[in-house]
Amino acid sequence: MTDKNQQDSGHFDIVIVGGGSAGAVLANRLSADSSRRVLLIEAGKAYPTDAYPDAVRRQDLVGGDPQHDWGFHSEPGVLGRQIPLNRGKVLGGSSAINGAVAMRLPKSDHERWARNHGLGALNWEAAQPFYTSLERTSGTGGLGKDGPFPIHQLGDEEVSDQHRAFIAAAVAAGYQRTAGFNTEHTLGVGPYVMNTRMGVRLNTGMTLLTDEVRARGNLTIRDETVVDRVIVEDGRATRVRLAGGEEIAAGEIILSGGTYASPAILMRSGIGPAETSRRLDIPVVTDLPVGRRLQDHPVFPTVWSIGKESVGLAYPPIGAMLWGRSRHAVGDEADLNISTAALPDGGQSPTGAMFLLFAALVRPRSVGSLTIASRDPHTAPVIDLGFLKDPEDRARLVDGVEMIREIARHTPFSEMIGAEMAPGAGAGDRASIDAALTSSVVTYQHPTSTVPMGGDRDPDAVVDVEGRVRGVSGLRVVDASLWPDVPSVATAFPTMMLAESIAARMV
């Protein structure tokens, strides 16, 4: 992309590194003040709003396209195998390659963070106006109607017959039908809330960085540009150094590279664990626990054969979800999602089509980590998801598989599906299901918490509730890496809300 002022490496009031879910929100809101000169740096390509390729437009294509994905992988860890980690490398970030789910955080997440991390200022009531200012909906149920980000609660008529049958079977199994997942009471089963239109995934590069926003004279978007590190002088972040050696001065620097890229930039800057800096001969700027609290949602797919004629290609492949509690849940936490997807290409399915029911643990106990092995900004970080380190996580995922099988025994869903292909009849008891986890657990692609925020008395916090890095002035991190632990829902929309709230306090 050749943009106005692209070759200008002079001083900017604000430099934002990363144009994804958070960075696009920040660039939009902070450049609304015409007196503020803003530079947005994006490692991927900045397509015109109406010219995104199908790989990032189509909602049925999720991640993995090498031209628009960083291509990260996890360390083998407890599972003994790598897991592909999809992260968007394009203007719009991972909002351009994800499942396009747009759910608000439940009240229980906010309450947990206030209780455990001193984040009372980030309470549920305070967060709602920032969702509302982003949302463009019909305006019913207290949702926003005039914001830039279109979201839509799917109705029963907008999902396939199998998804409707799954919902009915879950209700027959005793689960509550929810009126909508973006209400105060979110537990139950129903269709998803999506940010799609006519099969198109509406990423933040399209919706927050519209043609009108991109035309602002005080906003520069520089794409296909990799950032190496932040330069800190006398305790203040003053410049961004690009991978090619160029330096750009800024009054304030905001890292919005995401859960994997932002901590890596911090570590290359000497901001993070001191032992990491010393190991790589990086001068220590400040010793902070960057990368030590990585979390993500582990998910176990069960696979069922289904009639090819009933897949319903006109409907979203991801249609419905059950949000509930495992037998091992603590207190009133809702720790399991059962989500659904229909696939017309069945591979090994005898019917030529498959229906997938995923058991996802959205309140995991296990914690992973991220570090860097090189000072080279083109070298991928070392990512250990930490999946299934805690035995309780295994037990709760087994609970999820048992929930799926119970629902599958109820009509009308039982009449639409055929054989359970995986884990299959051979995994008939809890021990057999547990054994299958090791070979089949994957990720929901919701990584968080590598640069966690917290109150003054949280010793493990790297930033405060406004994303300001401890011990370094003029430097913020604003993206999904800030969550103190992994939220209970898909992370893109809550992270947009977080960016919206921080931008409002910066204006």
Tell me the average pLDDT across 295-323. Answer: 83
Q: Is 101 annotated as a binding residue?
A: yes
The pair of structure tokens assigned to 384 is 């250990």
**CA nearest neighbour of 473 among 226, 215, 285:** 285
The pLDDT mean for the chain works out to 94
The span from the CA of 443 to the CA of 390, in Å, is 16
Least confidently predicted of 8-17, 113-122, 488-497: 8-17
Q: What is the pLDDT of residues 35-80, one digit of tens each?
A: 999 999 999 999 999 999 999 999 888 888 999 999 999 999 999 9
Res 309: pLDDT: 63
Q: How confident is the model at residue 187 (pLDDT cuts 50, 70, 90)?
A: confident
Residues of the chain with CATH 3.50.50.60: 13-153+196-215+447-506
The span from the CA of 299 to the CA of 336, in Å, is 10
Which residues are within 8 A (CB) of 314 and not within 5 positions of it... i.e. 6 or more apart? none
- pTM tops 0.85: yes
Q: How confident is the model at residue 2 (pLDDT cuts 50, 70, 90)?
A: very low
The span from the CA of 353 to the CA of 381, in Å, is 37
Q: What is the pLDDT of residues 136-186, one digit of tens each?
A: 998 777 789 999 999 999 999 999 888 999 999 999 999 999 988 987 767
Q: Is 213 annotated as a binding residue?
A: no
Q: Which neighbouring-strand residues pair with 237?
A: 232
Q: How far is CA 305 from CA 62, 182, 495, in A?
A: 22, 32, 36
Answer whether residue 313 shows pLDDT above 70.
no
Answer whether residue 7 shows pLDDT above 60.
no
Residues of the chain with CATH 3.30.410.40: 161-191+298-363+388-440
Sign of the four-CA dihedral 276, 277, 281, 282: positive
The span from the CA of 272 to the CA of 252, in Å, is 19
Q: Is 418 annotated as a binding residue?
A: no
Task: Name the more confident of 155 and 449.
Answer: 449
Q: How confident is the model at residue 312 (pLDDT cuts 50, 70, 90)?
A: low
Q: Are 476 and 255 in contact (CB under 8 A)?
A: yes
Output the CATH code of domain 13-153+196-215+447-506: 3.50.50.60
The span from the CA of 279 to the CA of 285, in Å, is 14
User: In degrees to the nearest 10, what's the CA dihedral of 110, 116, 117, 123?
Assistant: 20
Q: Is 227 annotated as a binding residue?
A: yes
Q: How confident is the model at residue 498 (pLDDT cuts 50, 70, 90)?
A: very high
Q: How confident is the model at residue 3 (pLDDT cuts 50, 70, 90)?
A: very low
Answer whether residue 20 shows pLDDT above 80.
yes
Q: Is 98 annotated as a binding residue?
A: yes
Q: How far is CA 421 from CA 132, 347, 438, in A?
A: 42, 11, 17
Res 346: pLDDT: 58
Answer whether residue 83 shows pLDDT above 50.
yes
Q: What is the pLDDT of residues 343-393, one digit of tens each?
A: 766 567 777 788 899 999 999 999 999 999 999 999 999 999 999 999 999
Strand 12-17 to 247-255 pairing: parallel
Answer whether residue 278 shows pLDDT above 50.
yes
Q: What is the topology classification, in CATH, of domain 161-191+298-363+388-440? A: Cholesterol Oxidase; domain 2 (3.30.410)
Longest dimension (CA), the chain: 69
